[in-house]
């Protein structure tokens, strides 16, 4: 694991965006794994700016997001699909058919999970995966206790996660109880992983990750078994 301490949030965002830009210059038909939440917001701003300034295109890219709430669709402002459209997809040239998120409105959720996993596999797995980390160590929505061998799956969100994410909803009761998330095995198949963690709130999770004990009680710890992870962190 490669630890990169940053001075501020903007430095973290710029560095992450530059790594994605380099990836696209090297391999224009990359498969990118994308994340939502507070951590990557500046990253998307920087990546869109770099795209507008020219030099690379997303036309041949496939994207797969980590997760989506069950019960929320693209038109719902609190869905991750909506976040991706307003933060990124609306400003770059990725064909809509190459933008993938789990469908939180699917009638058959288990089938949806299988098809999502299969689509990632058929895309040759992910070349470059962006991650945030929860204060409880979750990556994607893989909450503590999730099997390291998990594939894309339906997950029950913990009270803590629902409480943390309630700031994006009118009340905690509005936060969906479940989500579809890429599994830990799916994430580990990525060739390169960038984890973003900035702020006092994340310091405890980062300290635990740095301590190095690998356990399913702290999902991010699986990353110690991955050959190419950069952790961009600071407070
Ligand atoms: P955040 O969430 O980027 O909004 O802090 C990260 C996570 O919970 O995975």
pLDDT at residue 107 in the model: 98
Decide if 138 contacts 144 (C-beta within 8 A).
Answer: yes
pLDDT at 163: 97
166 lines ligand 1 (CB under 6 A): no
* DSSP symbols for 158-214: PHHHHHHHGGGSSSGGGS-SEEEE--HHHHHTSSEEEEEEESHHHHHHHHHHHH---
Instruction: Indicate if ligand 1 lies below 6 Å from the C-beta of 134.
Output: yes
Give me the residues of the chain with pLDDT under 50, please: none
pTM: 0.98
For residue 53, the model assigns a pLDDT of 96
pLDDT of residue 174: 97
Residue with tokens 């990169």: 4
* Annotated catalytic residue within 14, 65, 138, 142: 138
Model pLDDT for residues 97-148, shown as the tens digit of each residue = 999 999 999 999 999 999 999 999 999 999 999 999 999 999 999 999 999 9
Does residue 181 contact residue 151 with C-beta atoms inside 8 Å?
no
CB 140 less than 6 A from any atom of ligand 1: no
Q: At what angle do helices 9-26 and 41-52 cross, to 10 degrees?
A: 50
Active site annotation includes 138: yes
Cα angle vertex 197, ends 191, 202, to 5°? 135
Residue 181 CB–ligand 1 contact under 6 Å: no
Per-residue model confidence (pLDDT) at position 75: 97
143 as an active site residue: the answer is: yes
Residue ranges per structural domain of the chain: 2-234
Task: Report the CATH number of the 2-234 domain.
Answer: 3.40.50.1360
> Tokens 């470059």 appear where?
128
CA distances (Å), origin 229, targets 149, 202, 222, 232: 18, 18, 11, 10
Cα-to-centroid distance, 14 and ligand 1 (Å)? 18
Sign of CA dihedral 58, 62, 66, 68: positive
């Amino acid at each position: 694991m490669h630890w990169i301490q940053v001075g501020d949030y903007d430095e973290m965002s710029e560095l992450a965006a530059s790594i994605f830009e380099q990836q696209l210059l090297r391999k224009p038909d990359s498969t990118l794994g994308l994340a939502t939440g507070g951590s990557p917001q500046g990253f998307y701003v920087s990546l869109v700016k770099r795209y507008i300034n020219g030099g690379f295109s997303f036309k041949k890219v496939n994207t797969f997001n980590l997760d989506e709430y069950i019960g929320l669709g693209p038109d719902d402002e609190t869905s991750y699909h909506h976040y991706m459209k307003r933060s990124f997809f609306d400003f770059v040239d990725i064909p809509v058919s190459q933008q993938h998120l789990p469908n939180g409105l699917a009638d058959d959720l288990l089938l949806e999970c299988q098809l999502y996993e299969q689509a990632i596999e058929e895309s040759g797995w992910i070349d470059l995966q962006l991650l945030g980390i929860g204060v409880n160590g979750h990556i994607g929505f893989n909450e503590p206790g999730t099997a390291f061998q998990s594939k894309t799956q339906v997950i029950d969100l913990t009270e803590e996660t629902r409480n943390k994410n309630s700031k994006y909803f009118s009340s905690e009761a509005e936060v969906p109880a479940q989500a579809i998330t890429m599994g830990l095995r799916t994430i580990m198949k990525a060739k390169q992983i960038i984890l973003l963690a900035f702020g006092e709130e994340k310091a405890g999770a980062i300290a635990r990750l740095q301590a190095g004990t690998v356990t399913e009680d702290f999902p991010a710890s699986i990353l110690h078994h991955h050959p190419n992870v950069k952790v961009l962190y600071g407070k």
